[in-house]
Amino acid sequence: MNTHAIIAPKRTVRVDLADRSYDILIGPGLIASAASEIASRLKGRRMAVITDENVGARYLAPLMDSLAETGIQAVSLALPAGEKTKSFEHLIPVCDTILGARIERNDAVIALGGGVIGDLTGFAAGIARRGSRFIQIPTSLLAQVDSSVGGKTGINSPHGKNLIGVFHQPDLVLADTDVLDTLSPREFRAGYAEVAKYGLIDKPEFFDWLEKNWQAVFAGGEARIEAIATSCQAKADVVAADERENGRRALLNLGHTFGHALEAATDYDGSRLVHGEGVSIGMVLAHQFSARMNLASPDDATRVEAHLKEVGLPTRMSDIPGQLPPVETLMNAIAQDKKVKGGQLTFILTRGIGQSFVADDVPSSEVVRFLEEKHPQ
pLDDT of residue 3: 43
**What is the reported pLDDT for 106?**
86
pLDDT at 161: 84
Q: Are residues 92 and 213 in the same domain?
A: no
Together in a domain, 140 and 202 = no
Spot the catalytic one: 245, 263, 277, 305. Answer: 245
Is 263 annotated in the active site? no
Interatomic CA distance for residues 363 and 359, integer angstroms = 10
Question: Which residues, including other chains, have CB under 8 Å from residue 229's CB and lie 6 or more apart?
Answer: 11, 13, 26
245 is catalytic: yes
Give the structural domain span for 342: 196-374
Q: How far apart are CA 24 and CA 11, in angstroms?
A: 8
In the chain the first and final C-alpha atoms are separated, in Å, by 36
Give domain status of residue 281, yes or no. yes
Contact, 72 vs 142, CB < 8 A?
A: no
> Domain check: are 20 and 70 in the same one?
yes
Select which of 2, 43, 130, 294 is catalytic: 130
Which residue of the set 83, 187, 194, 263 is catalytic? 194
Whether 211 is catalytic is no
**Is 249 one of the annotated active-site residues of the chain?**
yes
Q: Does residue 316 lie in a domain region?
A: yes
Do both 113 and 40 map to the same domain? yes
Do residues 221 and 303 both lie within one domain? Answer: yes
Tell me, yes or no, if 168 is annotated catalytic: no
- Are 286 and 148 found together in one domain? no
Burial class (CB in 10 A: 0-12, 13-18, 19+), 178: middle
Predicted pLDDT at 245: 82
Amino acid 6: pLDDT:
44
- How high is the pLDDT of residue 120? 98
Domain edge (last residue) among 126, 151, 181: 181
pTM of the model: 0.91
Tell whether 364 is covered by a domain: yes
Q: What is the pLDDT of residue 343?
A: 61
Residues 167 and 214 occupy one common structural domain? no
Is 369 a residue of the active site? no
Q: Which candidate in 168, 189, 197, 235 is catalytic? A: 235
Choose the catalytic residue: 152, 168, 338, 374: 152
Average pLDDT for consecutive 10-residue bins of the chain (377 residues)? 51 93 95 92 92 97 94 96 94 97 92 97 96 96 95 91 93 96 96 98 97 96 95 95 87 95 92 96 98 97 98 98 95 76 81 95 92 91
Q: Give the Cβ contact number of residue 175 at 10 Å.
A: 28
Count of the separate structural domains present in the chain: 2
| Three-class SS state of 356 | strand
Task: Spell out a b/e string for 193-218, using b for 16 or more CB atoms within 10 Å of the CB, else e.
Answer: bbbbbbbbbbbeebbebbeeebeebb
> Domain check: are 174 and 200 in the same one?
no
Is 127 in the same domain as 256? no
Q: How far apart are CA 181 and CA 186, in angstroms?
A: 12
Q: What pLDDT does 265 receive? A: 93
Q: Which of 275, 287, 338, 374 is catalytic?
A: 275
Q: Cβ-count burial of 240 within 10 angstroms (0-12 exposed, 13-18 middle, 19+ buried)?
A: middle
Are residue 360 and residue 299 in the same domain, yes or no? yes
